[in-house]
Amino acid sequence: MRRAATVLLLSLAAVWSAASDVPKAVVVLESLTAALPDHVAEAAPPRFVLLEDGQVFVGGTSRLAAGRLTRAEAKEIEARVVAVRQLPGFGASVSLGAGTQRHRLRVRKGGSQDILITGDPSEASAAPQPLASLLRDLLRFDHPSLRPYRPAAYAVIAREGKLAGGCRRWTFSEPLAESLFAPGTVPAAAAENWPTGATPASVCADDKAYVVALRPLLPGERP
């Protein structure tokens, strides 16, 4: 049963990989590696987001913290991103060497570019070392201004399927079946008792079983 659930979640990860853009983002870093077999990495919050006004978000498996950088701090990160984009051979896919880790770096300032990064940044060769260093720093980013962030809404990601164990009743006003075709949204206040982010829930509605994940939305973001 666990093997079947894992296969299902891996297929869902491929479908959910096209996450929406974050308005006014300078750089977005997402982890595409599930922390646990039953987790869906692409439904987790982004690991790091820097907005044009210096606002910063740092995410984990299900939750986010929000803060604000000084102009100098934000410019330093922007300069490192610019330097990385100028590396020889830097393109849509970059390998840092061995390791199963997968990340997506989304650069939105100075021309949109999405980069799939594979491998362990601690094992990177000399050539992509600036990229590996940036990746390491963003993954462990901390700042005194960071405070827990409460999203106003969650994106509903749903597919027909089953997880091990029982299923819960769909309690939201929006019909779950509509989220099979395009992610819907639910208010955060109504989702307080639901798992969020990479941890999916098994849901029964209208005599069908669904795998549902609630991805926290950033300000202005739409699924």
Cα(155)–Cα(184) distance, integer angstroms = 6
The pTM assigned to this predicted structure is 0.84
What are the CA-CA distances from residue 189 to residues 44, 65, 163, 170, 172 (Å)? 19, 18, 25, 15, 11
Residue 7 is predicted with a pLDDT of 42
Query: Stretch 53-76: mean pLDDT, rounded?
Result: 96
The shares of helix, strand and coil residues in the chain, as percent rounded to the nearest 5, are: 25, 30, 45
> HSE (CB half, 13 Å, CA atoms) of 92?
0
Query: What Rg value do the Cα atoms of the chain yield, rounded?
Result: 18
**pLDDT higher for 6 or 203?**
203
| Whether 56 contacts 50, CB under 8 Å | yes
The tens digit of pLDDT for each residue in 175-223 reads 888 888 888 899 999 998 899 998 999 999 888 999 899 999 999 998 8
Residue 95 is predicted with a pLDDT of 85
Cα(211)–Cα(58) distance, integer angstroms = 26
Q: How many CB atoms lie within 10 A of CB 187?
A: 13
What percent of the chain has a predicted confidence (pLDDT) above 70? 90
Residue 185: CB partners within 8 Å, gap ≥ 6?
Answer: 153, 154, 155, 156, 174, 217, 222, 223
Residue 84 is predicted with a pLDDT of 87
On the question of pLDDT at 110 being above 80, the answer is no
Cα(191)–Cα(56) distance, integer angstroms = 24
On the question of pLDDT at 26 being above 90, the answer is yes
Exposed, middle or buried, 142 (CB in 10 Å: 0-12/13-18/19+)?
exposed
Cα(49)–Cα(59) distance, integer angstroms = 9
Residue 130 is predicted with a pLDDT of 86
Query: Stretch 15-22: mean pLDDT, rounded?
Result: 53
Query: Stretch 144-153: mean pLDDT, rounded?
Result: 96
Of 65-74, 117-126, 186-195, the poorest mean pLDDT is in 117-126
On the question of pLDDT at 174 being above 90, the answer is no
Query: Stretch 13-33: mean pLDDT, rounded?
Result: 72
Instruction: Return mean pLDDT, the chain.
Output: 85
| Whether 37 contacts 196, CB under 8 Å | no
- Domains recognised in the chain with CATH numbers: 2-147 (3.30.1560), 151-216 (no CATH)
